Amino acid sequence: MQNLTITLQALVVASVFFVWTVRYQNIVQEFKHYGLPEWLRDLVGILKITFALLLLIGIEHRPFAVAGGLGIAALMACAFVTHLRVKNPVFKMLPSLILLVLSLIIAAINYQLLNA
């Protein structure tokens, strides 16, 4: 169980860092396309990177993994709802939905391991 959560945490962290660094121009375009303000984009980016760092720290300190997982899950739920509202095709919704589910799994496993 511990190896599974570490693998999932690494996957989610890598995904967040990739999207918010390497593919940052896509993020800028998406927020403009959806009519969302720049300050919100910046806030979401800061929160995502912060929660991703909590997932990394959480490899050694489980409470941080629970907090990071729940934080990423909350942001991904908002992203998924945004994709629904603008009527994006399913393939554009899938990344946020997958990261939402993975983040909830990470939080649940780490919570169980904390209380074991």
Domain residue spans in the chain? Answer: 2-114
Structure confidence at residue 23 (pLDDT): 94
Structure confidence at residue 2 (pLDDT): 87
pLDDT tens-digit series, residues 31-74: 999 999 999 999 999 999 999 999 999 999 999 999 999 999 99
Mean pLDDT to the nearest integer, 85-92: 93
C-alpha to C-alpha distance for 34 and 90, rounded to whole angstroms: 16
Are 8 and 66 contacting, i.e. CB atoms less than 8 angstroms apart? Answer: no
C-alpha to C-alpha distance for 7 and 68, rounded to whole angstroms: 15
> 116 falls in which pLDDT band (50, 70, 90)?
confident
C-alpha to C-alpha distance for 71 and 114, rounded to whole angstroms: 18
Looking at the chain, the whole-number percentage of residues with pLDDT higher than 90 is 97
